[in-house]
Chain A
Amino acid sequence: MDKVQNNKAWFLVLPVLVLVAFSAVIPLMTVVNYSVQDTFGNNVFFWEGLGWFEQVLTDSRVHGALGRQLAFSGIILAIQIPLGIAIAVCMPKKGFWASVCLVLMALPLLIPWNVVGTIWQIMGRGDIGLVGYSLSALGIDWNYARDPLHAWITVIVMDVWHWTSLVALLAYAGLQSIPQAYYQAAKIDQASRWSVFRYIELPKMQGVLLIAILLRFMDSFMIYTEPFVVTGGGPGSATSFLSIDLVKMALGQFDLGPAAAFSLMYFLVILLVSWVFYTVMTNLDKAEGR
């Protein structure tokens, strides 16, 4: 649709601008403020320069959290994207069963994140949880509160349970938009199921898959609630991801300076990925001729 140039449209955007300025810009400026100052309490601040940034950049604790975060996001993407595509391909295309699948699959997406944590906290327990009990019965000494590997497996299975459906639903939406004529042409060429997937479905899903990858990366990159409820970041700091570490630093120890410097660098990474996301979306819109 061709849009009209009209700067008076600013008046319509103004309420959003004021509200978001209050809820985003002011807090962010506070963070910038703290990141370059130090205090001995009593609200007396003095200039610190880039000292906090230096400290955070060389802090082995932050390095550890970043490493764990990248590993977690990588594993999540490697599992959820292929699994989501497979589920989308297997889903019924229309009718009653398609609705049933949609509703049941979407259920985990709408559960409060702390309840997701609670569910898997219970599932993994050796005494009352189905998974923990079954594993213990098989002779595995399953304890996610003590063994870092078990904690990781629990957190990853939980995230797969929670979010794979999102990838599947996005991929499914991509599949639905493929015209029937493509499949008929493939049939005439006697294409195998694999080549239909490889040369028709996968290219047609490209756009939604990019969105799925970016969304999953962003959301796993700022995961907080679920691992916080299940493991509390432990055992030790085995599952302390960036957000968990940041909240510990900011609200637990009240280390304002380092926490603020940490926040800003964290936010810059998000900004960069958001920019990629935005570019992908606008290009996608253009490709669809909107």
Chain B
Amino acid sequence: MVATTETFTATARRSAFPKVRARHVVMVAYLLFMLIPIYWLTKMSLQTNQEILGGFTLWPQNPTLDNYRVILTDPSWYMGYVNSITYVVMNTVLSLAVALPAAYAFSRYRFLGDKHLFFWLLTNRMAPPAVFALPFFQLYSSVGLFDTHIAVALAHTLFNVPLAVWILEGFMRGVPKEIDETAYIDGYSFPRFFIKIFMPLIASGIGVAAFFCFMFSWVELLLSRTLTAVNAQPIASIMTRTVSASGLDWGVLCAAGVLTIVPGALVIYFVRNYIAKGFALGRV
């Protein structure tokens, strides 16, 4: 017995060393692959356009914040961020407001057609925005909502409401039903119970759902570009139009790109353990 343990630890020690090394090499190589493109974007955002086009450099020779100054002082740029944030926040609030009661219903009750409804919601999350671009354009034009924030916010509920329902339902299932029953016995009405007791219990779930609604609305381009022209134009669409229009100012374009990464990068640490869950609709 002793002998076997010894041989076992010996083999483990012998093989563990190179194995760990290989793992580290793979991991470092992959993380470099992840980071180099982002570094490149950041690097170019700190250079003037002349320097970018003048010669190939691995890091900025004369780092400058001019590109950021252009974006933060020119309304045609910074209004893009204001517009984006406006419809993203509207969409997040709207999606959560309707998804919370629905998720509660799905997690607690069986009712006529519940499975079909759940599946139908899923198909909306999976639907290609390209299919909806034209009908959305016509629908919102005909009701006079074209080029408003509310149009984009409503359009994005197409995939965000199902997402919020699925994520919240996953979290709500983890709350024991006895809590509901005790609250009703104690004389709580449903709305009071829901707001006073239930919502604090799933606060982290609401946070995660809000984060994903924010993110998916923030990264989407096709619908937000189709539904806006001037007044509600999001930053993503301003960036693509700059590409096709006048002479390119790469530095400013890169600075705009870096600024769009900021909101995600700020909260990423807090949601790191939920990222897989959010993308897999709460099912991991």
Residue numbers of A with Cβ under 8 A of B are 1, 3-10, 12-13, 15-17, 19-20, 22-24, 26-28, 30-31, 86-87, 89-92, 99, 101-115, 118-123, 127-130, 133, 161, 165-166, 169-170, 172-174, 187, 190, 193, 208, 211-212, 215, 218, 221-222, 224-225, 228-229, 242-244, 246-247, 250-251, 256, 259-260, 263, 266-267, 270-271, 273-275, 277-278, 281, 284-285, 290
Contact = CB atoms under 8 A, between A and B. Distances in A.
Interface of B: 8, 11-12, 15, 19, 23-24, 26-27, 30-31, 33-38, 40-41, 44, 52-53, 56, 94, 97-99, 101-102, 104-112, 114, 117-124, 126-139, 154-155, 157-158, 161-162, 165, 173, 177, 215, 218-222, 226, 236, 239-240, 243, 250, 253-254, 257, 260-261, 264-265, 268-269, 272-273, 275-277, 279-281, 283-284
10 contacts: A9-B109, A16-B102, A23-B158, A89-B23, A107-B34, A111-B261, A111-B264, A118-B239, A161-B37, A221-B128
B101 A270 contact: no
B215 A110 contact: yes
Contacts of A290: 173
Contacts of B130: 222, 224, 242-244, 246-247, 250, 263, 266
Contacts of A212: 280
A260 B135 CA distance: 9
B40 A122 contact: yes
A12 B280 contact: no
A133 B264 CA distance: 30
A30 B135 contact: yes
A208 B283 CA distance: 9
A30 B139 contact: yes
B110 A211 contact: no
Contact of B126 (A113, A251, A273): A273
B134 A251 contact: yes
Given A106-B275, A278-B119, A23 B155 contact: yes
A-side binding surface: helix, strand, loop or mixed?
helix
A-B pairs, 5 with minimum CB distance: A110-B264, A27-B135, A222-B128, A243-B130, A12-B105
Contact of B177 (A1, A10, A260): A1
B53 to A, nearest CB: 7
Given A15-B97, A277-B122, A109 B275 contact: yes
A225 B124 contact: no
A274 B117 contact: no
A222 B243 contact: no
B260 A111 contact: yes
Contacts of A208: 276, 280, 284
Nearest to B258: A115
Nearest to B238: A114
Given A5-B111, A99-B272, A247-B222, 14 more contacts: A13-B102, A87-B26, A92-B27, A104-B31, A107-B38, A115-B257, A119-B257, A122-B40, A215-B279, A222-B127, A225-B220, A228-B240, A242-B130, A246-B130
A215 B280 contact: yes
A102 B131 contact: no
B154 A22 contact: yes
Contacts of B34: 104-105, 107-108, 161, 165
A96 to B, nearest CB: 12
B157 A110 contact: no
A274 to B, nearest CB: 5
B271 to A, nearest CB: 8
A220 to B, nearest CB: 11
Given A12-B101, A270-B127, A275-B119, A119 B268 contact: no
Contacts of A112: 218-219, 221, 236, 260-261
